[in-house]
Copies of this chain bind each other. A is one copy, B any other.
Amino acid sequence: MTTDPHMLDDAARDLLFRAARTHYAWQDRPVPDTRLEELYDLLKWGPTSANCCPARFVFIRTLEGKEKLKPALSPGNVETTMTAPVTCIVAHDRHFFDRLPRLFPQAEVAGWFAGNEALARETAFRNGTLQGAYLILAARAVGLDAGPMSGFDNARVDQAFFAGTDWTSNFLVNLGYGTPGVPPRGPRLGFDEACRLE
């Protein structure tokens, strides 16, 4: 397996999936902005429907930014978020389709969404979430640990960060270098519980 260039070797599978863990406690080690650019330059290649790329990412590194976020957090997520070197708001642009003529020039698809708000909203949420998952795995790929969270008040985040724009929050991901000693991981469903063969 480790010599097949068309597959990930065991070490890479461990890094991304099998040994990776969600982190809540962080080393006092900064994440340079260049690492965030490297992260985006990797995750951006993940596929989206008609290459619509609706996700938007706000990387909060300053105390001012964290204080703006703090009132929206669930109590259990305050300490981990305030101590993380970076907190990313995974958001999406409700008007993502304005960019489709450039992102997907091979067909006129912007009209699918401009006249159908429910389809636009579902497409932005689904594909923005896919890109949020690419962010989590790409963070691990560039050496960062991730702590994704949905325990916060989306409306308050939108008011604090996105007032007057078409961006809306989806979930949060703390980023940094986790401390050792995370508790045992939770179980997963077996193949026969989660999958069907037809």
**Which one of B9, B103, B125, B194 contacts A55 once the chains associate, using CB atoms below 8 Å?**
B194
Please give me the residue from chain B that is nearest to A133 by CB atom: B133
**A37 proximal to B (CB < 8 A):** yes
Instruction: Please state if B12 and A61 are interface contacts (CB–CB under 8 Å).
Output: no
Instruction: Name the CB-closest residue of B to A154.
Output: B122
Stoichiometry (number of copies): 2
Tell yes or no: A4 within 8 A of B by CB.
Answer: yes
Q: Which 10 A-B pairs have the closest CB atoms?
A: A133-B133, A65-B198, A51-B186, A8-B141, A129-B129, A17-B45, A44-B188, A7-B143, A130-B133, A60-B198
Q: Which residues of A contact B (CB under 8 A)?
A: 4-9, 11-13, 15-18, 20, 22, 33, 36-37, 40-47, 49, 51, 53, 55-62, 64-65, 68, 99, 102-105, 123, 125-126, 129-134, 136-138, 140-143, 146, 148-151, 161, 170-171, 186-189, 191, 194-198
**A to B CB contacts below 8 Å, 26 in the list:** A7-B15, A9-B12, A13-B141, A17-B45, A17-B134, A17-B138, A33-B197, A44-B188, A46-B136, A49-B149, A49-B150, A53-B194, A57-B194, A57-B195, A58-B196, A58-B198, A60-B198, A62-B198, A64-B198, A103-B186, A125-B125, A126-B150, A129-B129, A129-B133, A133-B134, A161-B198
